[in-house]
């Protein structure tokens, strides 16, 4: 997956979890949880959606790597 595809996947997953969240307002190093007002269950559902959408297993120990867009793109690309 490239950066554009990862951003599209993240936006799609967010649309199901938190429709009011706007990924385009988040900076590359902003904490997604704070910037999008995601609680712990929302973030867990976000990770599950990313895993399913990318076809890549994401172990719990790697969740902190996905706190930012930069980290998310780096991890899934």
Q: Domains of the chain by range and CATH? A: 3-76 (1.10.1200.10)
Whether residue 2 contacts residue 77, with contact meaning beta carbons closer than 8 Å, is answered with yes
Burial label for 77, CB within 10 Å (0-12, 13-18, 19+), is exposed
* Mean pLDDT rounded to a whole number for the chain: 95
Q: What is the pLDDT of residue 49?
A: 97
Segments of the chain scoring below 70 in pLDDT: none
The pLDDT, as a whole number, for residue 64 is 96
Residue 33 DSSP label? H
């Amino acid at each position: 997956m490239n950066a554009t595809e990862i951003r599209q996947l993240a936006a799609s997953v967010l649309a199901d979890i938190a429709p009011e969240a706007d990924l385009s307002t988040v900076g590359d190093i902003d904490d997604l949880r704070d910037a999008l007002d995601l609680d712990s269950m929302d973030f867990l559902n976000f990770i599950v959606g990313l895993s399913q959408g990318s076809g890549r297993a994401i172990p719990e120990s790697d969740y902190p790597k996905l706190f930012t867009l930069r980290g998310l793109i780096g991890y899934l690309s």
